[in-house]
């Protein structure tokens, strides 16, 4: 089980990473905060992922410093055969160094019985889309938009609203982790 200190460490890493991605897309005028005055990755969303039944957080470190993290949990309270990668982030100063791939390999290896992994990312995150599809072998299975909304409502904190992709990876046919 992860501690409150671990939670704070995770939050302090994930929020700047997500904010930087939005600033890269929408410019400095968007700043580091949403119209609601908090990170585009609100603490409430991180806390929700952190607290899901069966959730486990993982950290990537280099030279004693945290440079990335991930939260994995059984999908919608399902069994460990259907896992969701709730969050994966890499510190922007550590992009392109294999940290995300290494973190994914480590996290997925912790769930050898997982048959399917699911995750979601906003449409503008070209770096994420490339990473998940071309590097890790995930497949885009759904595109959420105003005509096809997410079942749990809009993701209000992103400027793009509900424009999100759903990715899946079938571990049985992937042949690799």
What pLDDT is stored for residue 104 in this prediction? 98
Structure token pair of residue 62: 């280099």
Residues of the chain with pLDDT under 50: 32, 34, 154-159, 177
Domain count, the chain: 1
Distances (CA, A) of 150 to 12, 78, 142: 27, 19, 10
Instruction: Name the helix (H) or strand (E) containing 47.
Output: helix 43-51
What are the φ and ψ backbone dihedral angles of 57, each rounded to 5 degrees?
-100, 150
Neighbours of 31 (CB within 10 A): 12
* Cα–Cα distance for residue pair 168/83, rounded to 1 Å: 10
Domain that holds residue 125: 4-174
* Cα–Cα distance for residue pair 161/34, rounded to 1 Å: 12
Residue 124: partners with Cβ closer than 8 Å, 6 or more residues away: 25, 160, 163
What pLDDT is stored for residue 154 in this prediction? 46
What pLDDT is stored for residue 156 in this prediction? 46
Distances (CA, A) of 56 to 23, 109, 152, 153: 29, 13, 22, 25
What pLDDT is stored for residue 158 in this prediction? 47
- Global pTM value: 0.87
* Cα–Cα distance for residue pair 102/46, rounded to 1 Å: 22
DSSP-based three-state secondary structure for 130: helix
Residue-wise pLDDT for 28-49, tens only, equals: 655 545 455 578 888 999 999 9
* Cα–Cα distance for residue pair 169/134, rounded to 1 Å: 12
* CATH code for the domain of 161: 3.40.630.30
């Amino acid at each position: 089980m992860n501690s409150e200190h671990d939670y704070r460490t995770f939050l302090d890493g994930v929020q700047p990473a997500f904010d930087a991605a939005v600033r890269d897309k929408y410019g400095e005028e968007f700043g580091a905060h949403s119209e609601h005055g908090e990170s585009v990755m609100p603490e409430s969303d991180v806390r929700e992922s952190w607290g899901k039944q069966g959730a486990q957080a993982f950290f990537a470190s280099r030279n004693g410093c945290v440079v990335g993290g991930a939260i994995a949990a059984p999908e919608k309270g399902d069994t460990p055969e259907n896992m969701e990668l709730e969050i994966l982030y890499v510190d922007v100063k550590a992009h392109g160094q294999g940290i995300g791939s290494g973190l994914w390999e480590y996290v997925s290896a912790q769930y050898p019985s997982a048959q399917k992994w699911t995750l979601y990312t906003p449409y503008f995150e070209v770096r994420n889309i490339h990473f998940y599809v071309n590097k890790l072998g995930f497949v885009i299975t759904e595109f959420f938009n105003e005509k096809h909304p997410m079942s749990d409502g809009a993701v209000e904190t992103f400027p793009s609203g509900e424009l999100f992709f759903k990715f899946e990876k079938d571990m049985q046919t992937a042949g690799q982790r």
